[in-house]
Amino acid sequence: MPETFGDRLRRIREEKRLNQAELAERTGFQPSAISHFESGRRAPSFDNLKKLADSLAVTIDFLLGRETLPTTAGPVAEKLFRNFEKMTAEDQDDLSKFAAMLAEKNRRRQENK
Amino acid sequence: MPETFGDRLRRIREEKRLNQAELAERTGFQPSAISHFESGRRAPSFDNLKKLADSLAVTIDFLLGRETLPTTAGPVAEKLFRNFEKMTAEDQDDLSKFAAMLAEKNRRRQENK
DNA sequence: ATAGATTATGACGAACTCGTCAACTCACAG
DNA sequence: CTGTGAGTTGACGAGTTCGTCATAATCTAT
């Protein structure tokens, strides 16, 4: 059985360590709307699909299971990379180290259940 | 005026040298449905968005005008990019703010010299 | 200018999502 | 046991898209 849209949404949300209420707040939905999407009760409309992808900082294609890289998109990612271009190489290294630290922190949390 | 979804759909369809009827046949719509989409009278639903992207052989993100990253190349950018995907949404926000700070610092330094 | 292809527009009921809200389960901490 | 937080489910009217069809408008040649 293939992974449904709802399954994928849930998986990505949990990877980003958001609960339904938090994701609802970011997207401007009711928490129940997230639940409806994840359980397959409703399919998000055009506009709301965009909001979900933005809030999770992933591509819509990734959200829909067309696994083409990069998986990252949206306003947060765009701002980050735009600013990345505007700093010194040294600052870029520092930023990258900070990112590695955050990613590592998340990896360890994943381990400890 | 930003390019609307309908504008983009039309542009891509014409690039592929399809008329509305041909695209309609590929997607299983009525020709009028394509016209409705291109003129902005209707916004395609979740499912139909997928069909359109399939039939035109483009990503949904491209269809929606989301610039696919990265514009930046190099090992440092790639590492940052990979780690970005592996952190919580909140950390992504924090990282982006840190990047904005560094970029701002560099901008001010440029001014004073 | 006439004919044919292409696109545009508008209507119809059916089906769907929307936001909102209430009621319910379930896990877990005090 | 009691409460608190997270998630589920189901309902409601309002609004939208659905497929289908008819018809008007526009373009493209001969």
Distances (CA, A) of A81 to A31, A64, A93, B1: 31, 24, 13, 25
Beta-carbon pairs below 8 A across chains A and B: 158
Centroid of chain to Cα B25: 25
Decide if B69 and A66 are in contact by the 8 Å CB cutoff: no
Provide mean pLDDT across the span A22-42. 94
Chain B residue numbers touching A25 (CB-CB < 8 A) = none
Tell me the pLDDT tens digit for each residue of B51-102.
Answer: 999 999 999 999 998 876 666 678 898 899 889 988 889 899 999 999 999 9
CA of A30 to C1' of C20 (A): 8
Is A61:B61 a contact under the CB 8 Å cutoff? Answer: yes
CA of B21 to C1' of D19 (A): 15
Residue A64 forms contact with B (CB below 8 Å) = yes
For B21-89, give the DSSP string: HHHHHHHT--HHHHHHHHHTSS---HHHHHHHHHHHT--HHHHTTPPPSPS--SHHHHHHHHHHHTS-H
Å between B70 CA and nearest CA of chain A: 7
pTM score > 0.75 for this model?
yes
Residue B54 forms contact with A (CB below 8 Å) = no
Sign of the Cα torsion B12, A53, A31, A4 reads: positive
Return d(Cα A83, Cα A72) in angstroms, integer.
16
Residue with the two structure tokens 């590695």: A100
Is A28:A51 a contact under the CB 8 Å cutoff? Answer: yes
Tell me the pLDDT tens digit for each residue of B20-63.
Answer: 999 999 999 999 999 999 999 999 999 999 999 999 999 999 99
